[in-house]
Amino acid sequence: MSIEVRNIHKKFGAFKALDNVSLKVEHGELLALLGPSGSGKTSLLRIVAGLDFHDSGQVLFSGQDAREQKVKDRGVGFVFQHYALFRHMTVFDNIAFGLRVQPPHLRPSEQAVRAKVMELLKLIQLEWVVDRFPWQLSGGQRQRIALARALAVKPRVLLLDEPFGSLDAQVRKELRMWLRRFHDEAHITTLFVTHDQEEALEVADRIVVMNQGRIEQVGTPEDVYHNPANAFVLNFLGNVNFFHCRLAEGKAIIGETELEVPGLSVDQPKIAKLYVRPNQFKLSRGPGKGSSLKAIVEYLNPAGTLVKATLKTETGERIHVEITQEEYRQLKLVKLMPVFVSLKDVSYSEYVQTAG
């Protein structure tokens, strides 16, 4: 089932939670709503579920207005950040709940319920917890039970609100890969909310970046990462350094230093903000051919796939840099060592004004 929202507005008192949001989720898509807290992503999810109501605009399920449909008739599976398992019921009763509350003519037999619950427990590899209560389970287990419970009623759409937000890093990684694999097999239209850019980039088919009740950009992970629509998206999707500078003919003039900017062409000099990701710098021990920024290594962390370093320029600005282990060994980088920084690439530049 496809979901479409058109010109949704939602206010809580004076606070604009959603400000003219339009979005289409294709059938079978796995879409991430990504944004900082207060960006309206959870509000949007709850409106789609029917748990909250928009002030104006439309929500369409497969082209039909869902306004008149109650939550229970929408066929959405909703997974809450804090699981919301029924605390007085066993795992079995939790998962069976959706089947048992169906109207009599649709309700499966107790035998069929049992078969379905066991099938779902097998899917999430938790058959052995069937008779336990939620409080006897770990966070990761609870979240998988919550997923199984939502899937039991064969929802047409799966909505996940920060599903892995309160789990520790290791479990979070495992579960999101599991979700991706599950989605690849089941192809159920899925919308999930997250504030974790890594999670969104890794799992989603497309990402919707939200900020202050608006959609900033919609695109594939590759798209939003490499071609950010604006500085907010760029900032939100990973670390970035930024410089105030003058741009002129393939060069960025930062303070007294001229840096070559590959691929840059400006017809006339401009004042700009230059955004550079940590891996877009080249470091060298000597000044090299072109001009480069002189800096000293202030902080160094070689533990990891990439070596992270913080450099301090002569003007006192700090640059966060990531280089490969190989480069690190070649440079024989140590703390307080002077290095020369040049640009391999630039993520994004924002023109502030034309320089005279």
Site of interaction with another protein (CB under 8 A): 49, 51, 70-74, 76-78, 80, 82, 84-88, 97-98, 101-102, 133, 135-136, 146, 149-150, 152-153
Q: How many CB atoms lie within 10 A of CB 283?
A: 20
> Which is nearer to another protein, 101 or 177 (by Cβ)?
101
Shortest CB 303 distance to another protein, Å:
39
If we measure between CA atoms, which residue out of 50, 51, 57, 49 comes closest to residue 18?
57
> Which is nearer to another protein, 86 or 351 (by Cβ)?
86
Shortest CB 77 distance to another protein, Å:
7
**Could you tell me which residues are beta bridge partners of residue 246?**
253, 271
Give Cβ neighbours of residue 21 (< 8 Å, ≥ 6 apart): 5, 7, 8, 9, 40, 44, 57, 210, 213, 214, 215
Shortest CB 33 distance to another protein, Å:
17
Shortest CB 160 distance to another protein, Å:
12
> Which is nearer to another protein, 44 or 283 (by Cβ)?
44
> Which is nearer to another protein, 88 or 332 (by Cβ)?
88
Shortest CB 329 distance to another protein, Å:
52
What are the E-state strand segments in 111-195? 157-161, 189-194
> Which is nearer to another protein, 159 or 341 (by Cβ)?
159
> Which is nearer to another protein, 102 or 354 (by Cβ)?
102
Shortest CB 55 distance to another protein, Å:
16
> Which is nearer to another protein, 146 or 319 (by Cβ)?
146
If we measure between CA atoms, which residue out of 192, 193, 196 comes closest to residue 168?
196
What are the E-state strand segments in the chain? 3-12, 15-25, 30-34, 56-61, 64-65, 76-79, 157-161, 189-194, 206-211, 214-219, 241-248, 251-254, 257-260, 270-276, 281-284, 293-301, 306-313, 318-324, 338-343, 348-354
Shortest CB 317 distance to another protein, Å:
46
Report the C-alpha gap between 341 and 344 in whole angstroms: 10
Contact yes or no for 346/280 (Cβ under 8 A): yes
